[in-house]
Amino acid sequence: MSLLKSLAASIAATSLAFVTLPAAAHEDVKVVASFSILGDMVEQVVGDYASVTTIVGPDADAHVFQPSVADAKAVAKADVIFVNGLGFETWSDTLIKESGTEAAVFVATEGVTPVKVDGETDPHAWNSLTNGAIYVRNIADAMGKALPEHADDFTANADAYIARLEALDKETRKKLAALPEDRRTVVTAHDAFGYLADAYGLTFLAPVGIDTEAEPSARNLAVLITQLKEQGAAALFVENITSPALVQQISDETGIEIGGRLFSDALSERGGPATSYEAMFQHNLGTLLEALGKQNAS
């Protein structure tokens, strides 16, 4: 952060004040989103009426992210900024403050009912499609304030987007409801799926908590492995933002198969299977169903 501090004064001098934006060239309206999943949601709502910059890109871990000078400049020049909130971006408050930006800052999870994991608030609220619809509505409302002459367009985009999310939610509930009770417990690298578990009746276990920066203690890892040996689990899953080594170790010690890779905190790079929020959820659903639908080897 010291590099950001050293440039704060010069960046602040070039920052743009947030006002109700005039009907100017749409590409001149600059929107910043904190991470890739949120950035895609924003793009779906704003369409061609603004340019969207994402700070934490595809396949990158926002938990351990360190902003660069380029990120500070993008924030300084922004007209509108969207963050997830719920403690997800531990770096965002400092970045926004030290950039000197005068942009309006909106929290996309406003109105979401938080889920607790081991007593901590789980910030990964997008892993419920019902919550995803809340994000989208919040984005449309915020952009309507920024560009009131296009508020109806943002609302229409949001309505169409939410209709697709609701259809996917219905499909997800139907398909996951068909799983037997003994095929509903899975293990991931870190606790990113509390909202998915809560919404769709699954149990997710993980050796690491909600923050990937934490390291699992030897004792906690041993307890988890013992639990899995005694009670079993349907499958293990690696994540796109974390090393597969820990999950592979659990697989080696328990004999539980790795069922594939889930996208938890970030979209995939271009050409990957999860280049949008919708595609990410469809990929995760398909990966879960393929692994959990298998019969026990015994």
Instruction: List the chain pLDDT tens, one digit each, 298 residues.
Output: 443 443 343 333 333 333 344 344 455 899 999 999 999 999 999 999 999 999 999 999 999 999 999 999 999 999 999 999 999 999 999 999 999 999 999 999 999 999 998 899 999 999 999 999 999 999 999 999 999 999 999 999 999 999 999 999 999 999 999 999 999 999 999 999 999 999 999 999 999 888 887 777 888 899 999 999 999 999 999 999 998 999 999 999 999 999 999 999 999 999 999 999 999 999 999 999 999 997 543 3
Rounded Cα–Cα distance for residues 89 and 93 (Å): 8
How far is CA 267 from each of CA 57, 88, 141, 283, rounded to the nearest angstrom?
8, 16, 24, 11
**Cβ atoms within 10 A of the Cβ of 279, count?**
16
- Strand intervals (E) in the chain: 30-35, 51-56, 80-83, 104-107, 115-117, 120-122, 185-187, 203-205, 235-239, 258-262
Residue recorded with tokens 């594939």 = 260
Relative to beta strand 104-107, strand 80-83 is parallel
How far is CA 17 from each of CA 92, 136, 239, rounded to the nearest angstrom?
19, 25, 39
Q: What is the CATH number of domain 2-170?
A: 3.40.50.1980
Q: Do domains 2-170 and 172-292 have the same CATH topology?
A: yes
**Percent helix, strand and coil across the chain, each rounded to 5?**
50, 15, 35
| Sign of the torsion angle spanned by Cα atoms 60, 64, 68, 71 | positive
- Kindly list the domain boundaries of the chain, sorted by start residue: 2-170, 172-292
Residue 150 has what DSSP assignment?
G
Rounded Cα–Cα distance for residues 132 and 294 (Å): 29
The CATH number, out of the four listed (3.40.50.1970, 3.40.50.1980, 3.30.70.580, 3.90.45.10), of the domain defined by the range 172-292: 3.40.50.1980
